[in-house]
């Protein structure tokens, strides 16, 4: 027969488990079928995206480009990618977003981003790496998918759930008299284990999903998806090789990325061949 202490311990664990599970929500990625953990609302994510965008634009170190030769191709690509998104399996989400794009004059930063809600930015330093408008379309399609697929929200949810789990474990340990077994070192080890075993692999999945769906959007927008392979070949050459070890990296290695893109290319090309191709124009400052 169980003691009062044992019954209380069991009841506590049940309550904490139900509380934890009540926080969890899931959705399925419409392209890959992957189940996603989400604990935030779309409206909340859009609000956070708008706030982050305002912070970026108000940063005195951030200088928006005033050059039409830099601004016009980016806006042209963004408009085509957004229209493709509105025809995609993310159409409902894409039509909710308030799309906007800013070109940031920073020739040393090869980057771009898209925030929840459709706020985008492209740094001029990405131009030599992208080389053509089709190359930049692969970049922007990738970033737009991060926003549409709610990857940022998923990462936040994973972190939130991990923190909540650690609190439950600590509380259960205290309630069951097991505090000596789960000390600070053990909790720290669990945190590292969760990061390497759960958070980093999911981030690599996000990157692969964005690569895959991104080239489908670029192809639907009329941009040659094969430029994505050339883009990552240049990225690999610029980094002096295949990039960091995949195990401790949130991004796939360049070799993995290129291999995956080649595997997905027939599907993307099938879409591209049904569209009016966009001329393969060079980006400003690129020979």
Calpha distance 278→80 (Å, rounded):
10
Start-end of H helices in 88-132: 91-96, 127-130
Residue with tokens 């480009």: 65
Length of the chain: 287
61, with CB counted inside 10 A (0-12, 13-18, 19+), is: exposed
3-state secondary structure of 86: helix
Q: What is the DSSP letter of 32?
A: T
Provide the CB-side half-sphere exposure for 278 (13 A, CA): 23
**Annotation says 45 is catalytic:** no
Cβ distance 48 to 41 under 8 Å?
no
- Phi (first) and psi of residue 104, to 5 degrees: -100, 125
Q: How many CB atoms lie within 10 A of CB 146?
A: 22
Bridge partners (DSSP) listed for residue 104: 64, 123
108 secondary structure, DSSP code: T
Contacts of 170-178 spanning 24+ positions with Cβ under 8 A: 171/12, 171/16, 172/12, 172/13, 172/16, 175/8, 175/9, 175/12, 175/13, 176/9
Strand partners, 101: 120
Catalytic residue among 45, 70, 133, 143: 143
Which active-site residues does the annotation give?
Answer: 143
């Amino acid at each position: 027969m169980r003691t009062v202490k044992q019954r209380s311990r069991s009841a506590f664990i049940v309550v904490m488990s139900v509380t934890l599970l009540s926080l969890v929500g899931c959705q399925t990625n419409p392209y890959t079928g992957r189940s996603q953990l989400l604990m935030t609302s779309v409206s909340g994510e859009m609000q956070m995206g708008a706030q982050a965008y305002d912070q970026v634009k108000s940063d005195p170190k951030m200088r928006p480009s005033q050059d039409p030769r830099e601004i016009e191709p980016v806006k042209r690509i963004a408009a085509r990618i957004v229209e493709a998104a509105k025809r995609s399996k993310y159409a409902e989400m894409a039509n909710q977003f308030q799309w906007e794009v800013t070109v940031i004059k920073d020739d040393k930063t090869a980057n771009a981003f898209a925030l929840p809600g459709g706020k985008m930015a492209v740094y001029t330093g990405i131009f030599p790496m992208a080389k053509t408008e089709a190359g930049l379309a692969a970049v922007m399609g990738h970033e737009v998918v991060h926003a549409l697929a709610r990857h940022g929200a998923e990462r936040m949810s994973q972190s939130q759930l991990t923190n909540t789990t650690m609190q439950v474990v600590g509380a259960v340990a205290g309630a069951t008299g097991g505090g000596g077994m789960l000390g600070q070192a053990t909790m720290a080890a669990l945190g590292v284990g969760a990061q390497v075993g759960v958070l980093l692999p999911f981030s690599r999945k996000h990157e692969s999903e964005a690569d895959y769906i991104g080239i489908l959007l670029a192809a639907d927008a009329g941009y040659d998806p094969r430029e994505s392979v050339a883009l990552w070949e240049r990225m690999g050459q610029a980094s002096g090789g295949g990039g960091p070890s995949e195990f401790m990296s949130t991004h796939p290695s360049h070799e993995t990325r290129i291999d995956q893109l080649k595997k997905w290319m027939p599907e993307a090309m099938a879409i591209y061949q049904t569209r009016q191709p966009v001329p393969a124009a060079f980006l400003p400052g690129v020979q």
